[in-house]
Amino acid sequence: MGLTTQDILDTVDASRRPLAASLVALADTKLVLGNWHTTCVLNAKSLPDYSALLAMGGAAFGHARALYDYLTAFGLEYALLERGRDAGAIHSQAVLDAPPEDWQDFVVTVYLADQICWLQAERYLSHPDRTLSGLARRIGEETYFHLKYATGWAAEFARDEASARRARDALLRRYPAALAWFPGDDGHAPAQRQACAKAAQDLLDILGQGGELGERADTQVHAADAPWRRRRPLPGRLYELVRFKDLEAVP
Amino acid sequence: MSTIVSAHPIGPDKMYEVFGRLNSADILEHVGSILAPNDDLALVRARFICGRRYQELCLAPTLSFIRAAAVDTAAVETAAVETVVVKEF
């Protein structure tokens, strides 16, 4: 068994550990999100859609690397963060653990993941470290377009009842894992959960699917998934996609 | 990850004209055209295909433009032909 997230974070000064944990989780989620885009890109519905998916994947990888680079200021090693960790040490959102079941599921899941990432990143918009606040602003600028991509597709799903229902089912299935990212004992969590719920409800409204989401978080299942608590490893097949396979090429 | 298989109706793509400016002092310049089924997807595609370097992007459906030159020329030519035909009679 290799290093866990906690092992890595234990090397960070205790006063800065919560921030480092949050940023590692954010970067890891971006890493997995980028792989979601690039793995699913061949399912794009047209050439412009293909370009948009690739660009969004590229942006997610870029954010991950920028955050890993920023984390070197915490004494963490870039090579370890980017390509030196095993499945037990990658700390991405649980909402991305299961592969998409269809196109609707893909769109809904990346929407939730991007929304959660932004709710996490926006806390740093006014951080005194201008590098971090600049990173957060940059993530926000890109996220705006990523969310537009999802709402644009949701509007298309709404044209067809069966398609809209599949999207709604996917949303309801993924939503508890999305909410669990914001633990109850974090001071920011209530507002973040509320914002996450509103974003999900907005998507339901675009889909033309009525009903309230309500409090659907399965806290027993997902209690360990909050940014600095994840204990279970990344699913094996997902890790095989995510991990870098060119270790021998790294100097 | 499994292959995604999905069949669902997508609205017909519309053509959008994309304009951008590099900074607030620049005028909007035409940077391309994009096909998309709705405004949100058009905006995203314009952003990623026509360029991220623009500080501002503006889109409008191509059909919303009033094409003065093309329409007027056609109208003039048609009128001219009709006039000639009438003269021959």
Flag if B45 and A48 touch (Cβ within 8 Å).
yes
A18: exposed, middle or buried (C-beta count within 10 Å: 0-12, 13-18, 19+)? middle
Flag if B8 and A148 touch (Cβ within 8 Å).
no
Residue B45's contacts (CB-CB under 8 Å, 6 or more residues apart) are A48, A49, A51, A52, B34, B35, B36
pLDDT value at A247 more than 70: no
Question: What domains lie within chain A, and their CATH numbers?
Answer: 5-246 (1.20.1260.10)
Which residue among A151, A159, A162 places its CB closest to the CB of B40?
Answer: A151
Q: 3-state DSSP call for residue B9?
A: coil
pLDDT digits (tens, 9 = 90+) for A3-38: 667 777 888 888 888 899 889 999 999 999 999 999
Q: Please give the average pLDDT of every successive group of 10 residues along chain B, which has 89 residues.
A: 49 88 91 93 91 87 82 57 49
* ipTM of model: 0.76
Q: How far is A74 from chain B (nearest CA, A)?
A: 31
Six-digit token pair at B4?
A: 């995604």
pTM metric for this prediction? 0.82
- Please report residues of B whose CB lies closer than 8 A to that of A151: 40
Alpha carbons B61 and A134: distance in angstroms, whole number: 34
When scoring B2, B3, B5, B6 by the number of chain A Cβ atoms within 10 A, the one with the most, hence best to mutate, is: B6
pLDDT digits (tens, 9 = 90+) for A65-120: 999 999 999 988 888 888 878 888 888 888 999 999 999 999 999 999 999 999 99
Which residue among A40, A149, A238 places its CB closest to the CB of B44?
Answer: A149
Nearest chain A alpha carbon to B49: A51
Alpha carbons A147 and B4: distance in angstroms, whole number: 20
Which residue among A104, A105, A156 places its CB closest to the CB of B10?
Answer: A156
Handedness of CA A185, A189, A194, A200 (dihedral sign): negative
Alpha carbons B56 and B47: distance in angstroms, whole number: 10
Nearest chain A alpha carbon to B48: A52
